[in-house]
Structure 1
């Protein structure tokens, strides 16, 4: 049976500040800021993740996302945090979220921690890079001079992405299997080294 496009229904309205991207496999996703209505789809999508995907993002096993964590994840503090999702082209709350990237400004600092999770269903198609570039863009626009994150040493996809984007890596003092990656966003500080 051949799939056809239904033309009697209008496509959903694109949320504000949404970028439409097409993956290498032809699927279309919306890159857009996270919305409070995304909490339930993010929780539902979390249940579809493999244990290894969760471990590589959270650095340890996590069975479910708590309500308080989900609330924090989808309720952004302007100027202090930013999160973007890659989701189906449907309104927030209805769209399955395939990837999420977030950064949180360190209190009283000009640095921010980032975290990215790309599910295996959309991995390997440049989505991690697209999300990271949006985080860098937001950070620069908000006076953040340094991005950093913690990455497990077996998370080769994230390590390769970070290095390709100019991040430096160091072994964490906390754990030998944990890497600390840092990107300096201030060109003056780079020249001064």
Structure 2
């Protein structure tokens, strides 16, 4: 009997609709080089939909912030080739960051056109929701361009509701993670 090949927490191999295998795993500092290199492969519209404005390249500061999240308040996953960090081409990045002083967290997902439309965005979003629930957060939100219909459709299919945004051309999508978190805490503490 052979030993079972177990992956570390938050790691999973996924076969995409096109047959390509990707490894979904937490982002690593070693991913900085491939992230900066793969950014050049993105179309201007892909960049605008994620960053909400034109960006020509990822700055060293941005890449460092992305690849070295604060473990207590941030979480980021990549969908990459099944190679070691630093060598693997990154096809998608999903990130969530708790908003200081609240029980909310903001998400962001970028899926390159090479792997878009294969369910990867949905898969990554579900992982972000799982992390946020594990941190006992109450709401997950993101600002999406009104023109980004694929992201708005995905969010709607996962239970996010739309809210007006102060910024023109943006829609805020919000998911209530556990509406009764406060009530459950009160019930747990009360004698009974």
TM-score by length of 1: 0.88
| Residue 183 (str. 1) matches residue 155 (str. 2) | no
Answer yes or no: is the 8 Å Cα contact 1:15–1:32 preserved in 2: no
Runs of at least 5 residues in structure 1 that lack an aligned partner in the other structure? 1-12
Partner of 1:46: 39
Once residues 52 and 119 of structure 2 are traced to their aligned partners in structure 1, the CA distance between those partners, rounded to angstroms, is: 22
Answer yes or no: is the 8 Å Cα contact 1:15–1:91 preserved in 2: no
> How many residues get paired?
177
Once residues 37 and 140 of structure 2 are traced to their aligned partners in structure 1, the CA distance between those partners, rounded to angstroms, is: 29
| Residue 82 (str. 1) matches residue 72 (str. 2) | no
Partner of 2:187: none
Partner of 2:99: 106
| Residue 117 (str. 1) matches residue 110 (str. 2) | yes
Partner of 1:56: 49
Runs of at least 5 residues in structure 2 that lack an aligned partner in the other structure? 184-192
Structure 1 residue 171 displacement after superposition: 2.7
| Residue 153 (str. 1) matches residue 146 (str. 2) | yes
Answer yes or no: is the 8 Å Cα contact 1:151–1:180 preserved in 2: yes
Once residues 155 and 16 of structure 1 are traced to their aligned partners in structure 2, the CA distance between those partners, rounded to angstroms, is: 34
Structure 1 residue 156 displacement after superposition: 0.6
From 162, 172, 178, give the equivalent of 2:165: 172
Provide runs of 4+ in structure 1 moved above 2 Å.
Answer: 13-17
Structure 1 residue 143 displacement after superposition: 1.3
Once residues 35 and 15 of structure 2 are traced to their aligned partners in structure 1, the CA distance between those partners, rounded to angstroms, is: 21
Answer yes or no: is the 8 Å Cα contact 1:14–1:91 preserved in 2: no
